Amino acid sequence: MPPRSNPLACALVAVVLAAASGAPAVRAQTAAPANAPVLTLADALDLAGSASPNIDAADAGVRAASAARRVAGLRPNPSLNADIENVGGSRAYNDIEAPKQTVSVGVPVELGGKRSARIALADAQGNRAQIERVAAGADLRLAVTQAYVEAVAADRRLATARDQAAIAAEAVRAAHVRVQAGRASPLEEQRAEVLRISADAAVDRTVRLADLARVNLGRRIGRPVTGALDQPWFDRVDGYGPAPLDADSSLTVATARADEKAAEAQLRLARSQRLPDVTLSAGVRRLPINNDMAAVFGVSVPLPFFNSGASSVAQAGAERDRATALRRAAELENEQAIGQAQADVANAAAAARTAAGPSLAAAQEAARIARIGYREGKFGQLDLLEAERTLAETRSSAIDALAAFHDAQAQLDRLTASARKD
C-alpha cells in the first residue's frame, strides 16, 4: 500500500525541493550584473600586452640592438696630432724661433673586413633580439591564459561549493523536521549538521581562492577583475590543437639558430681582427729657419708580437661549435616536447569531454532520481545526500578536467608559437 501523505511529508518535500532549486539562486548571486561586460580571454591578452614589463624590456632590447647596428657600421674616428720639435735645446735650439711645429691628421684604415664583420654580428644580435621580443609575447600569452583559466575555474568551484552548502543547510532543516516529528534519530540531524559545517568551511576556502585568482589575473592585465568571465569559452573543448607549423619557425629552434648565427659572426670578426689596422697620417710642418712650410706623411702599423689574435679565434670557434651543438639539441628536444604536448592536449580533451559530458549527466540524473525517491519516501536522507555529494564531486572533476585541457592547450600553443609572428 503506498504511504499516505501528511503535513510532515509535505513540509519535508518542500525543504528538499528548495535544496534542489537553491543552486541556480546561489549562482545568480555570484554572477555579475546582466549589463556588465564579459572579460574574454582576447580582452585580457590585449590589456596584458600594454601592461607587461617583460614586453617593455624586450622592446628596449630591440632598440638597443638597432643602436648597436648603427654603431657597428661607423668607421673609426680620425685623430689630430700636433708636434713641436727642437724645444729647450742647447745653442741654436735654445732660441724661441728654433722649434718646428707640425700639425697632422691620422686616419685609421681597417683591414681584413672588420667593419663588415661587425655589421654581420650586429645583424645577428638584432635578429636574436627580435626573436626574444616574440618569445616575450608568447610567454605573456601563456601566463595570461593560465591566469584566466584559473580565474574561471575558481568561479566555477565557488559556485559548486555554494550549491553544496545550500543543499547541506536545507538537509539540516529537513532532518530537524523529521527528528521533531519522531520519524528519525537525532543522529541524523547531527550528521547533517556536520556536513553543513564542512560545506560552509569549503565555501570560505573557495572564496579566498577565487579572490586570489582574480587578483592574479588583474595583476597580469593591469586592472582589477570585477566583472564576469567567459564561461562558454571555458566549456569549449572541440577544435583543439595548433595549426600545422614548420619546425624551423618555432621559437625554441629559431632562438637556437639565431645564437648559432651570432656565434658564426663572432668567429668571423675574431678572424678579421688578426690583421692589424694601418693608420695613415698627413700634415704640414713649419720650418722656423726660413718660415717655409713642408708636407709630412706617415704610416703606423702595430706589430702583433704578443697578441696575434689566435687565442681569440680559438675561443670564438669553440663558442660556435657549442652553439651548433645546442641548436641540434634544441631541434630534437623541441620535436619531443611538441609531441608530448600534443598527447597531453588529446588526453586532457578526452578527459574533459567525459567529465563534463556523460559523467556529469549521469550524476545529475542520479541526483534527480534521489530527490524524487526521497519525496516519495522510497529513499532515505543518506541516499539523497550521497547523490548530491556525488554530483558536487563530479562537477568539481569536470571543472578540473576543463582547466587541465585549457592549460595543456596553452602549453602547446607556447611550444608551437612561430618566430615569424609580429
Among 107, 103, 87, CA closest to 95: 87
Whether 373 contacts 13, CB under 8 Å:
no
Q: pTM, whole model, 2 decimals?
A: 0.79
For domain 12-75+110-274+309-415, the CATH class is mainly alpha
- Measured CA angle at 399 (ends 140, 161), to 5 deg: 115
Give the whole-angstrom CA distance, residue 176 versus residue 8. Answer: 11
Residues 6+ apart with CB under 8 A from 273: 112, 114, 309, 312
Reduced to 3 states, what is the DSSP secondary structure of residue 242? coil
Give the whole-angstrom CA distance, residue 140 versus residue 163. Answer: 35
- Measured CA angle at 277 (ends 273, 280), to 5 deg: 170
Residue with cell 706589430: 303
| Cβ-based burial of 186 (10 A; exposed 0-12, middle 13-18, buried ≥19) | exposed
DSSP run (H or E) holding 414: helix 381-415
Which residues on neighbouring strands pair with residue 104, listed in sequence order?
A: 81, 283
DSSP 6-47: -HHHHHHHHHHHHHHHHHHHHHHHHSPPTTSPPB-HHHHHHH
What is the full per-residue pLDDT of the chain (422 aa) written as tens digits? 334 344 333 333 333 333 344 433 333 334 444 456 899 999 999 999 888 899 999 999 999 999 999 999 999 999 999 988 777 666 655 555 567 888 999 999 999 899 999 999 999 999 999 999 999 999 999 999 999 999 999 999 999 899 888 888 877 887 777 678 776 678 877 877 888 898 899 999 999 999 999 999 999 999 999 889 999 999 988 755 555 555 567 899 999 999 999 999 999 999 999 999 899 999 998 877 777 888 999 999 988 888 888 999 999 999 999 999 999 999 999 989 998 999 999 999 999 888 888 888 888 888 888 877 766 667 776 777 788 878 888 888 899 999 999 999 999 999 988 876 54
Domain ranges of the chain: 12-75+110-274+309-415
